[in-house]
Amino acid sequence: MTPSSIRRVVFLNHDVHLGGGELSLMDLMASLGDAAPEVERHLIAGSEAGPLLDRAREAGVHTHHVEMPPRLSRRGESALYFRGRLNALARLAAGAPLTLLDGSTYSRRLHRKIHELKPDVVHSNAMKTHLFVSVGGLKTCPLVWHVRDFLRTRPLMVRVLRMVSSSASRAIGISQAVAQDIRDFLPGLPVDVVYDGINVDLFTPGPGNGEALDRLAGLATAPPGTVRVGLVATYARWKGHDLLIEAASRIATQTPFRVYIIGGPIYSTKGSQFSEEELRSLVARHGLEDRVGFIPFQPDPAEIYRSLDIVVHASTKPEPYGRTIVEAMAASRPVVISNDGGAAELFHEGVDGVGFTLGSADSLSGAITRLLDDPSLRDCLAANARTNAVERFHRDRLGAQVLQIYESVLERRSPAQTGPRL
């Protein structure tokens, strides 16, 4: 099998906003286009309009949509962890009949669209599309699940995925930690590890503009010598915004510093995200209004990284990968990283990053303080971080890697491969 035998790939992603998974999908599709321009790339999304579709069309990807019913897009398990388990379970159970009806309808429409496109491979990029494309099985081409989350954090979803996993020919895990998680919960599904990549020619070192950050955050211009510390993330509750605010309140140093929270709520799942009001209330409770600023998502995140002196990755659950870690490293910025899960695979302690104990405000404040008080260490980490990002996480390798996986599943696919029906 050669790359030229693959003529058309259909990617599936229900969300049309640009979260980490969607940005990584864009890098994958761009790299595939560079590696094999003869391969048609198609994307089926769950809504007819959104920045993901705009960005995909700009990259030469054919875009389509199969509307995901709002009840499906809003439902998820995040509330189990942040709003009370029994309450959330009761709500999920109460809505189950309508969800099953919506899911069955959506699955049929999704299969119909895939059949019209006649792909050689279907590449699903999200848990919900893994599920709904797998119901009934794909009878005409192989299905690859790109797994970007830990299954162990989705106890309900993993039970359903286990029922339909025979529909998938292969899984791609975005880290060794995720791959092991797949093996633990879906032991019959073959797994390859492909680290996400970024455009290291976009995320580059260079001078930033700290005063611009102050303006965007609505803060007075910081005094000269202020060290700017930032967290770039969606407002998902497990991304650690509250942990960083708590840690900032515990930092005792003579070095002037400011903290910037860059991002916002973008997903539809109920109970899964902080509101800005919640975070501002937490800042006020700690008396940090002059030290912590909020900046919405910016169209040029590379410039944001260059304007920060320290980038914090504060997730309170094990991170499957950590795209913002790699982006900050490529921009030659020292990164403080919650040292667990896939994130721990991305850096070398004290060489190109500094780790801290997952979920510990004291450990996080200590790691930040260490960098605040040691400019030479910041410089050393920054230089090594850029080297690590270029050598290990350049997106150019992605196209060739996924083509090999597609070729493998095409060679091994059973002519009558089907999946179970719910």
Q: How far is CA 269 from CA 18, 68, 70, 77, 236, in A?
A: 15, 13, 10, 8, 10
Can you state the angle between helices 241-250 and 361-372, rounded to 10 degrees?
60
Find the angle CA(220)-CA(222)-CA(225) to the nearest 5 degrees: 175
Contact 29, 403 (CB under 8 A): no
DSSP3 helix / strand / coil % (the chain, rounded to 5): 50, 15, 35
pLDDT at 411: 86
pLDDT at 71: 74
pLDDT at 89: 39
CA–CA dist 39, 62 (Å, integer): 11
Phi and psi based region of residue 147 (left: phi greater than 0; alpha: psi -120 to 50; beta: remaining): beta
All domains in the chain, ordered by first residue: 3-197+395-412 (3.40.50.2000), 210-393 (3.40.50.2000)
CA–CA dist 313, 296 (Å, integer): 17
Can you state the angle between helices 398-412 and 20-35, rounded to 10 degrees?
80
Q: In the Cβ-directed half-sphere of 344, how many Cα atoms lie within 13 Å?
A: 11
CA–CA dist 122, 114 (Å, integer): 8
Contact 287, 302 (CB under 8 A): no
Q: How far is CA 88 from CA 71, 74, 150, 161, in A?
A: 15, 13, 20, 20
Contact 378, 309 (CB under 8 A): yes
- Which one, of 6, 22, 48, lies nearest residue 408 by Cα? 6
CA–CA dist 155, 77 (Å, integer): 8
Contact 409, 170 (CB under 8 A): yes
Can you state the angle between helices 361-372 and 375-393, rounded to 10 degrees?
110
Q: Look-up: residue for tokens 């009001």?
A: 277
pLDDT at 100: 65
pLDDT at 99: 56
Find the angle CA(204)-CA(326)-CA(128) to the nearest 5 degrees: 125
- Which one, of 9, 20, 12, 95, lies nearest residue 46 by Cα? 12
Evaluate if pTM is beyond 0.85. yes
Contact 388, 352 (CB under 8 A): yes
pLDDT at 310: 98
Along the 422 residues of the chain, how does pLDDT read in single tens digits?
444 589 999 999 999 998 889 999 999 999 999 999 999 999 999 999 999 999 999 999 999 999 988 777 665 555 444 444 445 434 434 444 445 667 788 999 999 999 999 999 999 999 999 999 998 788 789 999 999 999 998 888 899 999 999 999 999 999 999 999 999 999 999 999 999 999 999 999 999 999 999 999 999 999 999 999 999 999 999 999 999 999 999 999 999 999 999 998 866 555 678 999 999 999 999 999 999 999 999 989 999 999 999 999 999 999 999 999 999 999 999 999 999 999 999 999 999 999 999 999 999 999 999 999 999 999 999 999 999 999 999 999 999 999 999 999 998 765 444 444 34
